[in-house]
Amino acid sequence: MKKSIFSILLLIGGFVLHGQNYSERMSASIMHTHRDSITVKLGKPAGWDYEQGLLLKALEKMYQRTGDAKYFNYIKKNIDSFVDDQGNIRTYHFNEFNSDNITTGRMLLYLYQELGDVRYKKAADKLRTQITAQPRDSDGGFWHKQRYPNQMWLDGLYMLEPFYAEYGTITGEDNWADIIKQFELMYKGALDAKTGLLIHAYDQARVQPWADKKTGHSPNFWGRSMGWYEMALVDVLDYMPINHPGRKILIKQLQELSAALLKIQDPASGLWYQVPNFPGREGNYLEASAANMFIYAFAKGARKGYLPASYLKAAQKAYAGALKSFISTDANGYIHLEKTVSVGGLGGVPYRDGSYAYYLSEPLKQDDLKGVGPFILASLEIEIAKELSVGKGKKVVLDYFFNHETKNGQRFHYTWEDRKDSGFHLWGIQFEQLGATLDTLGVSPTRENLKNASVYIIVDPDSPKETAKPNYMNAKAADEIEAWVKAGGNLILLANDTTNCEIPQFNILARRFGIEFVAPNLNFVQGRNWEQGTVLIDAGNPVFDPIKKVYIKEITTLKLSGTAKSITTLQGYPVMAVAKVGKGKVFALGDPWLYNEYTNNRRTPLEYENFLAAKKLAEYMLK
């Protein structure tokens, strides 16, 4: 029997899906299921919900990993369906004082930083006001919800604290004492000294029927609740200043809880049970969301240095078990996550008593977002781990001395921190995902202050047009940089067109390596005539192969001599060059081209591979 065209297309589609990483495959599946809006509760319209926020956070990380703007557009479309011009949030109810409602606020902060649209900040401010007014027990711990008085749940730390931490980072608020206090109260209140595990929740008033009258503990451990707590720890640490004394408190909690969880990891499958301290007990089962959360926290904790490297191996074992036990594939090639428990709570109507029987009574759900979001995050960490050896132990330093342009009193243009079009935020993430650490240099470079750097990047040195008092390149600085390169340093020089960059002094350095930025400028682009910015990359390019096409506009061309070699030409002129100098190497291009505007793919067509080119250049300079 002949196959129909439809069947053939399904097979082709299935093949394409199978050729992707699991992070991409699961993202494709869930975006296919929730095409227009994220519906959490079956039969009910989409609402402002923590599961929505969890999934969108995972898709944010997908965007940072792939550079594919479909993820960004999906996030923005979803959030825009809830937030109006005044920052009001549809279906959000302030007076519920529900910590779950804070979670999706992380996406408001994300979009505000990416786009600068104040309506996202206004909406985030409303959630911040809820935190100020959130009821607390007599110790100062946040109630999980208005209807759960004096109760702290492990879930609540993930729902509230990462937003609280990031909001403070953006606005300059110092919320760290309160954030650390919440973790300390939760940990102390839920810790089981015998096992090192954390009970699902505790009642500080000791009045709930489910609460132990002496400790306030709920009756059992629950896998996913500890997963929420682990994720809260590793995510909050992203925002905490590196020298803050509170870091050691959170890292110690992460280490202790992770060690306790490692002891009860199922040796055969690498997974964890729904009620994790009763492996093999009648009715108990291996549960997906908890495993995915632990994989994410273990792998990220190891990558960030909070946990020993052995935790990555534990995460990899668990991930292999998750793929085997929890992933199914439909006829169209889409994958699905099985065996996620739909809910787990205490109190309410009908009353949930926290017993072993209760936790096993809740139904399982396919593609539950509480499992899918962590699966995508876990997959990304496992995928990133494969590349960390490229930059392990290496530091990438971005110049903040020759380029120190400001706007409204803030550093502007080509910084790691800037997430808008003008920054290098995405490129910095790529370096980090290759295992390198990021740093900046705000003083004149010397061999001494560069000695721990593997890569040094100088971009678009200032002219008087951009900065009142430019710091010009000079022979002394060039001597220091040249000596550093000869000793094994790797230097990236990115100029700009001659009207927007200080070229003559910059060439004092560039000429040391047989490179000079010169006229003419090429690839002037009118509006969105993208083809005018096309640069074709020849096959076999030593830096960018197999990339074929990138977008660069208004490029300063190069004049080369000595060991410098052209690796890309345009209209017969060299526009990209490399030079081997002593033990080090130099890459030069006459444009800052790898800043967010031209790597985030929100405007430029995907045929231009700037995002991948940024990663390829990072790999070349780190290897």
Q: Which residues are catalytic?
A: 155
Q: Which residue in this structure is represented by tokens 């369906």?
A: 81
Cα four-point dihedral sign 133, 139, 144, 148: negative
Q: Which residue in this structure is represented by tokens 């008593």?
A: 353
Q: Which residue in this structure is represented by tokens 């711990």?
A: 141
Task: Assess contact for 529 and 588: CB atoms under 8 A.
Answer: no
Residues 6+ apart with CB under 8 A from 364: 338, 339, 340, 341, 342
Three-state secondary-structure class, residue 219:
coil
- H or E element that contains 141: none
User: Rounded to an integer, what distance in angstroms lies between the CA atom of residue 161 and that of residue 158?
Assistant: 6
User: Rounded to an integer, what distance in angstroms lies between the CA atom of residue 167 and that of residue 268?
Assistant: 42
Q: Structure tokens of 237? A: 């640490």
Task: Assess contact for 380 and 299: CB atoms under 8 A.
Answer: no
- H or E element that contains 483: helix 475-486
Three-state secondary-structure class, residue 466:
coil
Q: Structure tokens of 70? A: 């479909």
User: Rounded to an integer, what distance in angstroms lies between the CA atom of residue 49 and that of residue 55?
Assistant: 10
Task: Assess contact for 134 and 99: CB atoms under 8 A.
Answer: yes
User: Rounded to an integer, what distance in angstroms lies between the CA atom of residue 68 and that of residue 66?
Assistant: 5
Three-state secondary-structure class, residue 112:
helix
User: Rounded to an integer, what distance in angstroms lies between the CA atom of residue 97 and that of residue 466?
Assistant: 48
DSSP 486-510: HTT-EEEEE---TTSS--TTHHHHH
